[in-house]
A = this chain, B = another copy of it.
């Protein structure tokens, strides 16, 4: 994939000292349709990177794909269509859906997912030092965040190294790309995920459903995000910084 993902645009800075022309870098937001086994499921605005992962993660977020091993092939058509082929049962799609508070394509979850039980998580621990390395590594890989101020980043740390990092115009889409990479067998779920976005219910829910035991954010969580973390047993970390974490649930997986 070699898509253009930013564009330079002329803007005017207006201040008490006058008007001045300037050039800003904007993130390119594009609509992509997602199809499962040739049936169109939805469409989402995305940043056109990691589109295969996005397609798989989008379908997981909405409950169409439910586990690792189901995705067989993902094809991306430049006209704006991501075609996922997966071994899923016909008619197994979620019924009653709730549109969620989060940025992103997978802004729909079913009440069943929200209230159902969780499978055991992929157990692991992480040290405070490792988390520091993780966050520093992520910041190095995210120039778009600081140039456009219009994307969220999400990365996965496992086996002592950064396994994957994705960005998107949607807070959710970035997480979906990481989850899609897990579904496609590119990275393990047994580790820690870090997002620049807020941990609302749906963000925590999809991480718990795929089995990630440690979920971290640069910022905070909502009440329902925390409630889901408690029910699933997920370690929930807010305000994550190198050397300092605010742990909302299950701090025992963090070792000093």
Contacts and interface: CB of A to CB of B under 8 A. Distances in A.
Interface in A212-246: 219-226, 238-239, 243-246
Chain A, interface size category, equals 35 or more
B100 A45 contact: yes
B224 A29 contact: yes
Contact of A246 (B24, B30, B46): B24
Copies of this chain assembled into the complex: 2
A101 B169 contact: yes
Interface in A102-145: 102-108, 111, 114, 128
A68 interface: no
B256 A29 contact: no
Contacts of A251: 12, 14, 19
B101 A173 contact: yes
A28 interface: yes
A200 interface: yes
A104 B42 CA distance: 17
A103 B171 contact: yes
Interface in A147-166: 148-150
Given A16-B128, A26-B223, A251-B12, A150 B198 contact: yes
Nearest to A40: B96
B14 A245 contact: yes
Contacts of A14: 128, 244-245, 247, 251, 254, 256
Contacts of A201: 29, 45
Interface in A14-68: 14-16, 18-19, 22, 24, 26-31, 42-46
Nearest to A109: B45
Given A28-B224, A169-B198, 18 more contacts: A9-B248, A11-B246, A13-B246, A13-B247, A14-B128, A15-B245, A16-B244, A19-B251, A26-B220, A27-B222, A27-B223, A28-B222, A43-B99, A102-B103, A149-B220, A149-B239, A150-B198, A150-B220
11 contacts: A11-B238, A13-B244, A14-B245, A15-B128, A15-B245, A26-B226, A45-B200, A101-B168, A102-B170, A149-B239, A169-B222
Top 3 nearest A-B pairs (CB, nearest first) are A45-B101, A107-B107, A29-B222
